Each structure stands twice: as structure tokens, then as C-alpha cells.
Chains A and B, each alone.
Chain A
Amino acid sequence: DAGVTQSPTHLIKTRGQQVTLRCSPKSGHDTVSWYQQALGQGPQFIFQYYEEEERQRGNFPDRFSGHQFPNYSSELNVNALLLGDSALYLCASSRQPPTGRSETQYFGPGTRLLVL
């Protein structure tokens, strides 16, 4: 058990609606990254939050937004849902590494979103 928690586990929405997914990082971690995994594909990076700011972003439209709270937990918001947004949404937590080092990301169980 990596200690990263996500809620809810499953969610069903209809096209055009908005959704908020939540993530609590592992104890001692301060950085949260979000990934989208479509069926049969590897996870794709959406964005990363550190010190309550978006630090890096993948190739996703601005319908995807996020937030990080002072306790390091994070939310992923998706507006104007499309059928193609149906996927497993994964949260990964890590620490910010010292210069020249690489820190391991630990994943939560994911939230499965179905858009009808």
C-alpha cells in the first residue's frame, strides 16, 4: 500500500457536466501529479502541483484544471465533459527532489470516470 488515496473510486457523468476528483498524497510528500489512462493505453501526464501552483502541464486542454491545498492534497477538475474523457484518472505523489536527483512517484488506486 503506497499510502496515496483517491476519491471517489468510480463516477458516472453525462456529456457537458463538470467533475471534481480528489487525491491525498502519501505522508511526507508535497508534490501531486495527475495522469489520465484510457482503456488499453499507458497513463498520460496531465499536470503537476507543488507549493499550491501548477508547475508542469502535459498536452491537455484547459478544460482540465486543478488545485493544491496547504495540506498538499489536490483536486482535478474537468469541465464540459466529453465522451472521450472516460478513463482511469490516477494521482501520483512524490517529494520535490534535491538538485540532480530523481524522486519516485507513488500512485493511488485511481478514479474510474465514465461519461455517457
Chain B
Amino acid sequence: DAKTTQPTSMDCAEGRAANLPCNHSTISGNEYVYWYRQIHSQGPQYIIHGLKNNETNEMASLIITEDRKSSTLILPHATLRDTAVYYCIVRVSHSGNTPLVFGKGTRLSVIA
């Protein structure tokens, strides 16, 4: 079972920041937080991941709370093309290529 809890759906106005929350209260010290998104009927797209520090790349920012029990994915200027299902995944970081365990994710609708 997925170790994360996300809202089922969210709306965001085009051009505004989209803030997607994720709860992972049982996360262990050796587990990363990964974010993927899936645009309708396509393969999931990797967005960003982090362990305990905040991370930023060209797509998004990841803010992880100090106790690591929750995180927020921020899309700074949402566009219509950001409409997708966003998955927050907790994944063990030790040796071996551990599988991704997906929940149902958050369906983000960006509205013009």
C-alpha cells in the first residue's frame, strides 16, 4: 500500500502557483519523497525528489517539513499543460532499485 495521503483533486488558476500537499507521517529516515505526474493516458513523468532538504529544478520546487512528515510540490506558474494526476511517492533509498508504490494521486485541473 502507498505510504502517502494526497487530496483527490485540486483546481488552480492559470498563471498562479499550484501547491500540492502530501502527507507521509510514517516516513523513515532512509526514505526519499518522489513526485511524478501523469497527463491523460501517457506514462508517468518524473518531476523531482528529495530526502530532507528543499529541492528546486526547472519544473518545480519541493518543500519538505523539518519533521519530514509532509511535503508540498510547488508549480510556480501553472499552465493548462500542467493539468494531470500528480503522485507523491515515498521510496527507500538503500541499495537496490526499489519499486515505486503509487497511490491514487491528486488530479490537478488548471483553469483558464
A: residues with CB less than 8 A from B are 2, 4, 31, 33, 35, 41-45, 48, 50, 55-56, 58, 88, 90, 92, 94, 96-110, 112
Contact = CB atoms under 8 A, between A and B. Distances in A.
B46 A105 contact: yes
Main DSSP-derived SS at the A contact region: loop
A102 B41 contact: no
Interface of B: 2, 32, 34, 36, 41-46, 49, 87, 91-105
Given A42-B87, A42-B104, A90-B44, A104 B49 contact: yes
A97 B43 contact: no
Given A42-B102, A105-B100, A108-B43, 7 more contacts: A4-B43, A35-B100, A56-B98, A88-B41, A97-B95, A100-B95, A102-B49
A41 B97 contact: no
A58 B99 contact: yes
Query: Looking at chain B's contact residues, is the secondary structure mostly helix, strand, loop, or mixed?
Result: loop
B102 A102 contact: no
A114 B16 CA distance: 39
A107 B43 CA distance: 6
Contacts of B46: 2, 104-107
A109 B44 CA distance: 8
A42 B43 CA distance: 11
21 contacts: A4-B43, A31-B97, A43-B44, A50-B97, A55-B97, A56-B96, A97-B95, A97-B97, A98-B95, A99-B95, A100-B94, A100-B95, A102-B49, A102-B92, A104-B49, A105-B97, A105-B100, A107-B46, A108-B43, A110-B42, A112-B41
